[in-house]
Amino acid sequence: MTFMYADSDLSGNSSITEGFLKAQRWNATGGPLSSGGWDDPATFGSNTNNSGNNTVTVAGVYNYSPWVLHDGESSGNSPLPIELVDFKASCTNDVVTINWTTATEVNNDYFTVQRSTDLTNYTNVAVVEGAGNSNTLLNYSTKDQYPLTGTSYYRLMQTDYDGQFEMFSPVAVMCVTKDADVISVFPNPANDRLNVTMNLTANDRGRILIYNHFGQLVESLFVEPKAGVNTYSFDLNNLSQGQYMVSFMMEGKVLPTQKVIISR
């Protein structure tokens, strides 16, 4: 049997070494565990990888249970975390619905749905619990109740139990919302103090979060803004020069992320 894959299937997954990919079979009655498990790829002897044409071929197959591709460079019998069949997003009545389907899951802890306006800077929209291990089609769905006006990009990130993750290609969504919350930060570039203004369509509550360019949280402020204009101030003297991202995690929604430069 010959398995084919696309380069995009491996994009963003730091745990995969393409040249070591092997085909691996689920053994429901034997395998490494008494209750079933993934057979070692070496079980089938001839397991040939050709990264030039994106194929993995295995000979001597005599048992047809689920198969996946495994990163043969890593130790143990764990294959790639999930096989994603479909990922799509659509905007209806000012709400973006994100749906995806998996064919198999291995040690899958959770999914994170992220949103971007520039395909570079992403913010988290929702976290959805994974199934752990599965060999059947599973359908997932979540919603962005407060999408951005215009074109946004949604992508899926999968994280397994040991913290390794897999990133999938984004999809574009056009959404024209009736009412929009307006966020601004000033001055930008900033020196010793940053002001955050939120002009909201309704009362809300949540946190203003500041991340450095490594994605580490460096400041957090709980706020309860009212409908209309609200202004908050941050002391930046403990932060070094560089680029930062200001995120707004309100009740049940994610407001647009702002990029800030600290310059002295």
The string of pLDDT tens digits covering residues 138-179 is: 999 999 987 877 788 999 999 888 788 888 889 999 886 555
Cβ neighbours, 10 Å, residue 220: 12
Q: CATH 2.60.40.10 spans which residues of the chain?
A: 82-175
Closest residue by Cα to residue 232 from 189, 170, 190, 183 = 183
Give this prediction's pTM.
0.46
CATH topology of domain 82-175: Immunoglobulin-like (2.60.40)
Looking at the domain that runs over 182-262, which CATH code has it been given? Answer: 2.60.40.2550
Q: What are phi and psi of 213, to 5 degrees?
A: -75, -5
pLDDT of residue 165: 84
Q: Average pLDDT for residues 234-251, to the nearest whole number? A: 90
In angstroms, rounded to a whole number, what is the distance separating the alpha carbons of residues 201 and 179? 7
Q: What are phi and psi of 86, to 5 degrees?
A: -155, 145
Closest residue by Cα to residue 148 from 171, 124, 121, 182 = 182
Which segment, 65-79, 88-102, 243-257, is predicted with the most confidence on average? 88-102
Q: CATH 2.60.40.2550 spans which residues of the chain?
A: 182-262
Q: What are phi and psi of 28, to 5 degrees?
A: -70, -25
**CB proximity list for 96: less than 8 A, separation 6 or greater:** 89, 90, 143, 144, 147, 152, 154, 173, 175
Q: What is the pLDDT of residues 105-139, one digit of tens each?
A: 888 999 999 998 888 888 888 899 999 888 788 99
